[in-house]
Structure 1
Amino acid sequence: MPTGSPRSTSSNLRTGSAAPYTARTGPGISTFKGQERALRADRIGTPGLLLSVLAASAPLMVVAGVMVTTYQVMGIVGQPLLFVILGAVMALFSVGYAEMSRHVHNAGAFYAYIARGLGGTIGAGASFVALAAYSALQVGIYGIFGFEIAGLLDRHLSLHVAWWLPALLGVLVTGLLGALKIDLNAKVLGVLLVIEVALIAVLDLAFAAAPGPQGLSLHAFDPTTLGGAGLGTALCFAVAAFVGFEQAPVYAEETSRPQTVVARVMYLAVGFVAVFFALSSWLIGVATGPDKVVASAGEQGPGLLFALTGPRLGTTFTDILHLFFVTGIFASMLSFHNVVARYAFAMGREGLLPKALGRTAKSSGAPALGSLLQTVIALLVVTGFTLGDDKPAGDPTAPVLQLFTWGGNVGALGVILLMATASLAVIAFFVRRGAGRAQAGRLTAAGLAALALLTVLGYAVTDFDVLVAARQGSVLRWLLPALIAIAAVTGLVHGRVLRATRPETHARIGLGNEAFQLEKLDQAAAPPPSDTEHATPAPHKES
């Protein structure tokens, strides 16, 4: 292979050997900061990455929780059609996002892309939004995890425990796994996900084989079923169900072939989620009957899925389903934890957070301090909700209706904002580099995705009181969304300060530990510099 090829250059940078050019993006801006600032490469391939990102979507939690809640609260019979429509939107988003992933390999994912397209200051704002959003999503899941574990112990072992005991245990176990090798995490997530999907497939077949009084009706795919005041909020719930596939670029530095693996995984994940969720939500309606699904969800709540499963597959299968409902929740917690740890690592490496966070563990190559940071945040938040919980152990008010619901919707709001901004950044990125005409199709897709996502964002902000089940006039309506706004403003101010006081740090935002991929290709095609000009120095430890 020629010395100047992208693969050999990446290898040289990882091993610290001399390379024919400096990894830089402009005069004096070196992006290689040492092996201890690099995630361990070649840890995860297409199957492992696909399983990791799909685990975040927690299929069983979505089917049993999000889908039933959407039927119950919003009264939208056409929920399956909603998943099809949003699947198309997410596919449009993925077109530009996947193309960007071929050129930027950075654990900072969203904020790295936004920085490369819209500038370092906006990238800094996006980094804090990403950290806040994924932290909220991850920590919120501990609420429903603790509540469900406590319920299982009570029903099957007659052991009465408060929800926060298993929640805190979950925090510690997740933190431990998060500091280990990503390939080990992928195996844990993969096993849990495969079992989870298999169980859903079995109950889907059972619903299709024994439908309700209206048979295999396709009424749910009639566009008229999307009418009603709850459409905007139902859109937000459905978008939250898709959250997870966009995490693939976070692992780009740890994949074997990031130029192809990341994009492939995103397309596979979007296609799987859209088809799988549309099919499952349709069959829930088929099992009850389309004219009864809203009323049944109102009566049964999240227990509807298990109530439909029992008569068709027996109590033993229902108990197994409930058990893996809990393990699916755990898999989602671990997946989001890994993402937050890598965002913290990327931000520490680039000077947006303390430098210590930007180092990896020697034994595992994982961002151990980033994992520790998220573990501490989770302990503090769960402890805070524990101290404020004066309800009986079986009351879901604090763990589910507050911690889980608030965290999930705040996080989803932040991710929608990031996705819309990233779509605009993709357009700016290629246009500024003179590739607008060559990438016209992808940029059109990104523009359409941005419009659709901004529309959903508007609905989310307007109907946030419904999303979090807040009473009319409650301060939560503006206080919870304000957390994302505060994160954005904090990041923007921090970015401006860095630009004024530490311009070299500001210039590196979004670049990671190696030079920007397109510029590496340009330099590889150019004549090699002289021995005394732009030579890559051997890696050195920073003070």
Structure 2
Amino acid sequence: MSTNHPPSHSGLARRRLGVVHLVFFTVAASAPLTVLGGGVTTTFLVTSNTGVPVSFLVLAAILATFAVGYAAMSRYVSNAGAFYSYLANGLGRAAGVAGSFIALVAYNTINIGLYGLFGAVFGDFMNTKFGVDAPWYIWGLGALALVGLLGVLRVDLNATILAVLLIAEIIAVCIFDFFAFSNPAGGAVAFDGLNLGNLFSTGVGAVFALGIAAFAGFESAAIYSEEVRDPRRTVARATFVAIAFTGLFYAFSAWALSVLYGPANVQGVVAEQGPGAIFGALAQFGSATLADVATVLFITSIFAAQLSFHNGVARYLFALGRERVLPDFLGRTSVRSAAPVAGSLTQTTLALVVVILFVVANRDPVADLFTWMSGTSAVGLVLLMTLTSASVVGFFRRRPAEESAFQTLVAPVIATILLGALLAILVFNFNALLAPENPSYLRWVLPGLVGLAAVVGLIWGAMLRTTRPEVYEGIGRSATQVDTREDEYVPVGA
């Protein structure tokens, strides 16, 4: 890790993104059509819980509570490392390093897992429609190469591509919702899915364990905080919009699925048809062409999520390289596009290696690669949010602020408790995310990877404090804040 030669170009593009751009990044990471076609159908299948739709409202409420303190702190801390910088400024530098290692595991695993899902879904589509029969990894690696290319281009170009894909898939989901409520099972709309009592019955732990993955990416607005036009407002607004939209949209669409097939029958339907429960309805009530278009959008939905998570990983690596917590070459950005090119190429290389390992081991792209990786990511993200809520309390305890006590203390404490409980549910119900044929020990090994990352991060932070105090002192401090008196960027702690 050289400390003598700083990167020749190490700045991200300033003032390039607005609220709408960030909303597209965060919601695209959640992938609405993928959530409905994959996540919601799987949740109904695994849990047989009729309260699945209302679970999204409960989770959105928890995340909104988290976002109160998160948004308040975002007005003072602006760093591409997001959670890393929040923890460093709120709980201490070693905690920041631990958080960065957890984040790298969480964002890398969900991104890499999506290549398995993409390869399987796209391969099935090509085989069914065009008779092209190729292994899943051919399509998965093709997507990996395209994401890697886009990752080194201008960030606002990425946002434009995500916007087009996201709008199209939202329209497709809305069409399904319209058909569902126009053709309810038994001729009447059933409200069982919105009954909170139905949620807290059988399989509630698995419902939450699977449901939290649907929100993955909502917190990523802070990753782009150095590139937004108005750092004091943009991140907060985008985060609240993303939570409100995804919570309501997913709850409504899951309810639509329940209404279409009937609360008592939806589990059997998805057991037989899987995602076809969505696309079959579009073909039945619309047309075969509409179903095909929706299937294509399902594929692009997965791709949009891959691109969003790839950008997040690249920016985490950039922040860690800039502060020399990791090798400083990671802090390099492209002179032409201002994209974190070194971080992007590193993430692409890592994804390539892991996918190849799964191919060589002959593991299933969905039951193994996608499920293992996404489950691990969910644990990591909830742990990060729990620690971040605690860091908000620590950050504002040591400094005066114009925000209210509710924003800086009450809401963060409540969020820490709620997220801690959700984390426990995730870990102890991790087996709900695994296929029956998967080895039983994976229910502890996979979430254990997150704990291992945290421990290694703490140890590395302690080593930096002893062996490289100048690096340790700067951890999380290349973040910027907005000086409210002069409305300009100044270093945190200045």
TM over 0.5: yes
Aligned residues: 484
Partner in structure 2 of residue 72 of structure 1: 45
- Structure 1 portions without partners, runs of 5+: 1-32, 390-396, 526-535, 537-543
Instruction: Check conservation: 1:45, 1:261, Cα contact below 8 A.
Output: yes
Distance 2:438 2:37 in 1: 27
Partner in structure 1 of residue 451 of structure 2: 485
> Deviations along 1:446-475, whole A, 9 cap, x unmatched?
111111111111011111122122558722
- Does 1:244 pair with 2:224? no
Partner in structure 2 of residue 131 of structure 1: 104
Larger deviation, residues 175-184 vs 302-311:
302-311
* Secondary structure, aligned partner of 1:121: helix
Distance 2:407 2:173 in 1: 36
- Does 1:108 pair with 2:81? yes
> Deviations along 1:44-74, whole A, 9 cap, x unmatched?
1121121111110000000011001000001
For residues 313-324 of structure 1, what are the structure 2 equivalents within 5 Å?
313-324=286-297
Larger deviation, residues 41-50 vs 377-386:
41-50
Partner in structure 2 of residue 19 of structure 1: none
Q: Which 4+ residue blocks in structure 1 deviate beyond 6 angstroms? A: 522-525
- Does 1:303 pair with 2:276? yes
TM-score normalised according to structure 1 size: 0.86
Instruction: Check conservation: 1:107, 1:512, Cα contact below 8 A.
Output: no
The letter of the residue matching 2:429 is D
For residues 115-126 of structure 1, what are the structure 2 equivalents within 5 Å?
115-126=88-99
> Deviations along 1:100-120, whole A, 9 cap, x unmatched?
111001000011101110000
Kindly name which structure, 1 or 2, has the bigger radius of gyration based on alpha carbons: 1
From 391, 398, 402, give the equivalent of 2:368: 402
The letter of the residue matching 1:170 is A
Partner in structure 2 of residue 220 of structure 1: 193
- After TM superposition, give the deviation of residue 524 of structure 1 in Å: 9.5
The letter of the residue matching 1:111 is Y
Partner in structure 1 of residue 420 of structure 2: 454
Distance 2:227 2:400 in 1: 30
Partner in structure 2 of residue 234 of structure 1: 207
> Deviations along 1:474-521, whole A, 9 cap, x unmatched?
22122111211111111111100011112221121112264xx27x56
The letter of the residue matching 2:273 is Q
Distance 2:420 2:26 in 1: 24
For residues 115-194 of structure 1, what are the structure 2 equivalents within 5 Å?
115-194=88-167
Distance 1:470 1:493 in 2: 36
- After TM superposition, give the deviation of residue 308 of structure 1 in Å: 2.5
Partner in structure 1 of residue 29 of structure 2: 56
The letter of the residue matching 2:213 is A
> Deviations along 1:334-379, whole A, 9 cap, x unmatched?
0000000000000111111100001111011000010000000110
> Deviations along 1:168-226, whole A, 9 cap, x unmatched?
11111100100000000001111000101011111111111111115212121112211
- Structure 2 portions without partners, runs of 5+: 1-5, 489-493
* Secondary structure, aligned partner of 1:138: helix
Partner in structure 1 of residue 463 of structure 2: 497
The letter of the residue matching 1:398 is D
Larger deviation, residues 426-435 vs 130-139:
426-435
Calculate the aligned-residue CA RMSD, in Å.
Answer: 2.0
> Deviations along 1:414-462, whole A, 9 cap, x unmatched?
0000001100100111112255994334421111111111111101111
- After TM superposition, give the deviation of residue 273 of structure 1 in Å: 0.4
Partner in structure 2 of residue 445 of structure 1: 411
Instruction: Check conservation: 1:214, 1:289, Cα contact below 8 A.
Output: no
From 509, 512, 526, give the equivalent of 2:475: 509
> Deviations along 1:307-339, whole A, 9 cap, x unmatched?
222211121111111011001100000000000
From 225, 243, 248, give the equivalent of 1:275: 248
- Does 1:372 pair with 2:334? no
